[in-house]
């Protein structure tokens, strides 16, 4: 145990490990905050679809050699987020099918572009990194870290300021509208925040595993808590703890970062589910 | 002057008209029961008056210092609410979601108003309970308390007794009548024509031939047709 602790301390002396730690925890926090709303709005799969869009955009960006491809990926993802959310209300194409189409379509385009046009010698390595995050979080530059910190802070501040309105829009759109709230605007804000989180989280866990970061903390805390506030706070705590422990384990044990964090979340989900069952049987 | 006046109003969605030639006016203290078959546009009419849906033609005018934001609304329940983790007090206070500036925290005054309305609806002791675990009747009381927070002059209720057992439904009717006696104007959509007409002062029938008038007139016309 002491050996592990010493190892962690010694790793923490490296700036790249500290960067990874800070960025990872911030991204996990953001993802869990929006997760509660997305799960309750039945938008879980929109997050998944968007992460594939982000992958496609990333592929295109890296081929046309955009320096600093994050803004490009962010804009493309945000536009798709808005389209998908609008499509949710428009029944001409089944929303479910629309998400699946956009999602796999973007995945195919991204992979194709990377394969055909990429100048890199290790295409499958690049693809794997973008999909599963692998070690990219340990290669963050100072600029990336700064951008991540600024964007995460913006997401958190925005969420806190709009918290009550986000609740109203999530619980009952019709009523919120009748009370004079611009529901379309808030749905738009939710969509844009979601895409920011997804693009950020791509660095941490890769595009295939982002949905886990958004959904698991929310669903876990819903097993045990009864109010929106308690669920949101608990989801944030779960997500931050899982990210922190996951990153430490992966640094010490050499496991892939993204997968380790997600597995931590899965464990918490089962622990909370078990606690829920036990509490129910004793009659709470 | 009438609180709400609709003239030649047509409602529907995506420019497809569901109900047209709707003419009626609601005065302070009225209890209007909106009836009609399924799919004739009753909910759409209410949503149009509230500004949730665009009106297709005709006019809606507000009088007596009333504006859209002053109408308390009790919508039909949605699927998402069935397992939604929300405490009763969170639901009630969300009535004020449209009223603030950028910094969206509820004031002491708003919290106090929410508390008063919860007590009024007899759900004060449930404030910290999870909304989705309450009985149907309790849930409707929560939504009624929320509607009262948003507005204390006029309420629009979309099928407030649907899904309630007979006893809870009767309680709900009594509660609504009590609010009406206190001077709150009621516009209520109902499927349960027989019972709701006992309480209503006016009837708005939406269908092939739209009717608006006092409950007595409606009953007379209906009886004549039967004969």
Domains along chain A with CATH numbers: 2-281 (1.10.3470.10)
pLDDT digits (tens, 9 = 90+) for A112-156: 887 777 666 666 666 776 676 655 566 667 777 888 889 899 999
pLDDT at residue A134 in the model: 56
Closest partner residue to A179 among B47, B83, B98, by Cβ?
A: B98
Question: Chain B residues with CB inside 8 Å of A40's CB?
Answer: 80, 84-85
Residue listed under structure tokens 């004739």: B40
Q: How far off is chain A from B213, nearest CA to CA, in Å?
A: 26
**Do A178 and B104 count as a contact with CB atoms less than 8 A apart?**
no
- Yes or no: say if A159 and A225 are a contact pair by the CB < 8 Å rule: no
Q: Is B78 on the interface with A (CB under 8 A)?
A: yes
Q: Is A272 on the interface with B (CB under 8 A)?
A: no
pLDDT digits (tens, 9 = 90+) for B27-59: 888 999 998 888 888 888 888 988 888 888 888
User: Distance from CA of residue B80 to its chain's centroid?
Assistant: 20
Q: Please name the residues between 35 and 54 in chain B that touch chain A, using a CB distance below 8 Å.
A: 47, 50-52
**Do A226 and B51 count as a contact with CB atoms less than 8 A apart?**
no
Q: How far off is chain A from B86, nearest CA to CA, in Å?
A: 4
What per-residue string of b and e applies to A46-56 under the rule 16 or more CB within 10 Å gives b? bbbbbbbbbbb
pTM: 0.87
- Yes or no: say if A36 and A197 are a contact pair by the CB < 8 Å rule: no
Task: Report the complex ipTM.
Answer: 0.88
Give the pLDDT band of residue A92 (cuts 50, 70, 90).
low
- The closest of A130, A112, A144, A97 to A206, measured between CA atoms, is A130
Residue listed under structure tokens 């800070």: A22
- The closest of A101, A111, A64 to A80, measured between CA atoms, is A101
3-state secondary structure of B124: helix
pLDDT at residue A183 in the model: 87
Give the pLDDT band of residue A90 (cuts 50, 70, 90).
low
Residue A91 or B170, more confident: B170
Rounded average pLDDT over A77-85: 83
Q: Is B99 on the interface with A (CB under 8 A)?
A: yes
- Yes or no: say if A47 and A215 are a contact pair by the CB < 8 Å rule: yes
Rounded average pLDDT over A225-236: 94
pLDDT at residue B70 in the model: 79
Q: In what order do the strands lie in the sheet with B71-74?
A: B71-74, B154-158, B185-189, B31-35, B202-205, B211-214
pLDDT at residue A44 in the model: 76
């Amino acid at each position: 145990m002491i050996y592990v602790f010493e190892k962690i301390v010694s790793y923490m002396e490296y700036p790249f490990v500290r960067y990874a730690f800070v960025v990872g925890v911030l991204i996990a926090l953001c993802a869990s905050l929006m997760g509660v709303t997305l799960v309750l709005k039945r938008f879980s799969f929109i997050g998944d679809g968007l992460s594939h869009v982000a992958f496609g955009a990333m592929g295109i960006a890296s081929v046309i050699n955009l320096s600093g491809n994050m803004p490009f990926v962010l804009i493309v993802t945000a536009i798709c987020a808005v389209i998908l959310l609008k499509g949710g209300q428009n029944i001409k194409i089944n929303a479910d099918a629309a998400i699946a189409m956009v999602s796999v379509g973007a995945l195919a385009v991204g992979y194709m572009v990377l394969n055909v046009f990429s100048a890199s010698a290790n295409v499958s390595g690049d693809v794997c990194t973008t999909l599963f995050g692998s070690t990219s979080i340990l290669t963050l530059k100072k600029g990336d870290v700064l951008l991540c910190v600024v964007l995460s802070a913006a997401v958190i501040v925005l969420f806190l300021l709009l918290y009550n309105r986000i609740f109203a829009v999530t619980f009952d759109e019709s009523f919120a509208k009748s009370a004079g709230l611009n529901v379309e605007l808030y749905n738009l804000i939710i969509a844009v925040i979601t895409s920011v989180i997804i693009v950020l989280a791509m660095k941490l866990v890769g595009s295939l595993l982002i949905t886990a970061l958004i959904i698991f903390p929310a669903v876990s805390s819903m097993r045990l808590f009864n109010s929106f506030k308690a669920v949101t706070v608990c989801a944030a705590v779960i997500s931050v703890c899982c990210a922190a422990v996951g990153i430490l384990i992966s640094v010490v044990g050499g496991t892939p970062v993204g997968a380790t964090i997600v597995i931590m979340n899965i464990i918490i989900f089962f622990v909370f589910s078990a606690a829920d069952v036990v509490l129910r049987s004793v009659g709470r | 002057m009438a609180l709400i006046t609709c003239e030649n109003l047509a409602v529907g969605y995506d420019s497809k008209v569901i109900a047209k030639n709707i003419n009626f006016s609601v005065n302070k203290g009225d209890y209007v029961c909106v009836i009609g078959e399924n799919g004739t546009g009753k909910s759409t009419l209410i949503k149009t008056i509230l500004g949730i849906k665009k009106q297709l033609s005709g006019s809606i005018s507000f009088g007596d210092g009333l504006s859209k934001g002053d109408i308390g609304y009790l919508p039909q329940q949605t699927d998402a609410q069935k397992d939604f983790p929300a405490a009763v007090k969170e639901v009630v206070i969300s009535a004020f979601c449209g009223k603030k500036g950028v910094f969206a925290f509820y004031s002491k005054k708003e919290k106090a108003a929410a508390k008063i309305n919860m007590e009024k609806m007899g759900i004060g002791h449930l404030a910290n309970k999870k909304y989705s675990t309450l009985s149907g009747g309790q849930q409707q009381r929560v939504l009624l308390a929320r509607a009262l927070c948003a507005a204390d002059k006029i309420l629009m209720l979309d099928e407030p007794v649907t899904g309630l057992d007979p006893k809870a439904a009767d309680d709900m009717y009594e509660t609504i009548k009590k609010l009406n006696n206190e001077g709150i104007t009621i516009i209520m959509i109902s499927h349960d024509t027989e019972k709701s007409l006992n309480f209503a002062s006016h009837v708005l029938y939406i269908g092939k031939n739209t009717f608006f008038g006092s409950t007595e007139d409606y009953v007379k016309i209906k009886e004549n047709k039967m004969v």
